[in-house]
Structure 1
């Protein structure tokens, strides 16, 4: 879970860097993190492009998604999604 947690934090940071609006952060975060963990590479990059067209951001998103796809096991991904369900049900979200 440590690797999965670190990657989730990186993804959240990426979303914040890309300029997500504060009042829409949880739905936007939910969509992009779900794609980041379990979606297709192309769908994740398309979602990131909605927030930012900067080539450096897109390259970083591409690298991070490749890392997740190559290194996280199905168990790691399930653990990360389980943790996210707790975040999504938070009163702060």
Structure 2
């Protein structure tokens, strides 16, 4: 099964010491059974975080450790193209 790509806005702030970054848009590349392979978090205040095989975590967070499909949410409405994901992954902007 080929990887799928998603873009989803979270209208909540982080709730931690970096709460001032504001709300965010998350981009996922999901592999088999919805497991994240790469993700990008773009915060309203301009901070951008990237996680993937070569950088799985840092002091701000990390690559999601649960299948997107296990959340019970329907992800089909958030699907984007691989090209859209790659643009954000490579440039870090929406």
TM-score normalised by L of structure 1: 0.32
* TM-score, normalisation: structure 2: 0.32
